[in-house]
């Protein structure tokens, strides 16, 4: 089982619903966010390309945050989800420094927090909050090891990319382009 998120940049309008949904689902304090929207504009008027991306922890297969954690608070569970155990985290900040995506932050309580792929919802058979709420249905979630899953099929059929591939982290969040 390898969970992956596939996000269609051709459909995303950058509305940020994923961000609010995450905030209310996971009690993320106001002023913080586990996911966010990046807008990229290239070209010269009127020959322009605009890309909108919903970004979050990439749940990397080769996760530098997990490797650099001195206590094992950052760890990978079945399905490839990278999690932080608050009561093992000392707040040293090493994992934050190690993340090429700046996806982690210090929760006001001191421990490090980030996207969990809504692990608690997956256990109940629900999709991550961001995926379930997206008005454009541009986000897909599933198992990469299952060749018939929606995510596998989409990655087979469509051109896609991951973020900062040169960092060598093997992200599990893919963008259809």
By CB under 8 A, what part of segment 143-162 binds other proteins?
Answer: none
In the list 83, 119, 122, 132, the residue contacting other proteins (rule: CB under 8 A) is 132
Which H or E run includes 97?
A: helix 94-98
Q: CB nearer to other proteins: give 44 or 148.
A: 44
Helix (H, G, I), strand (E, B) or coil at 80: coil
Provide, rounded to whole angstroms, the least separation between the CB of residue 83 and other proteins. 15
CA-based end-to-end distance of the chain: 25
**CA-CA distance, 47 to 29, in Å (whole number)?**
40
Stretch that binds other proteins, among 66-74, 115-123, 140-148, 152-160 (CB under 8 A): 66-74
Nearest to other proteins of 1, 168 (CB atom): 168
Q: How many CA atoms lie within 13 A of 66 on its CB side?
A: 16
Interaction between residue 57 and other proteins (CB under 8 A): no
- Under rule CB under 8 A, residue 32 binds other proteins: yes
| 137, 145, 146, 177: residue in contact with other proteins (rule CB under 8 A) | 137
Strand-pairing partners, residue 83, are 75
Residue 78 sits in the site that holds other proteins (CB under 8 A): no
Q: Is 123 in the site for other proteins (CB under 8 A)?
A: no
User: Is residue 94 within a helix (H) or strand (E), and if so which, with residue range?
Assistant: helix 94-98
Residue 87 neighbours by CB distance under 10 Å: 7
Minimal distance, residue 87 CB to other proteins, in Å? 6
């Amino acid at each position: 089982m390898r969970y992956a998120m596939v996000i269609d940049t051709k459909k995303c309008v950058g509305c940020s619903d994923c961000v609010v949904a995450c905030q209310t689902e996971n009690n993320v304090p106001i002023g913080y966010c586990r996911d966010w929207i990046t807008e990229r504009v290239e070209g010269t008027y009127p020959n322009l390309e605009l890309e909108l991306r919903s970004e979050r922890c990439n749940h990397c297969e080769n996760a530098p945050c997990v490797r650099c954690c001195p206590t094992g608070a950052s760890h990978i569970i079945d399905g490839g989800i990278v999690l932080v155990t608050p009561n093992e985290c000392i707040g040293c900040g090493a994992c934050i420094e190690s993340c090429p995506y700046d996806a982690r932050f210090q929760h006001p309580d001191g421990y490090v927090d980030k996207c969990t792929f809504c692990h608690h919802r997956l256990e109940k058979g629900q999709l991550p909050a961001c995926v379930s709420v997206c008005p454009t249905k541009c986000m897909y979630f599933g198992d990469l090891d299952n060749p018939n899953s929606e995510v596998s099929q989409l990655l087979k059929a469509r051109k896609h990319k991951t973020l900062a591939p040169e960092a060598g982290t093997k992200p599990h969040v893919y963008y259809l382009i």
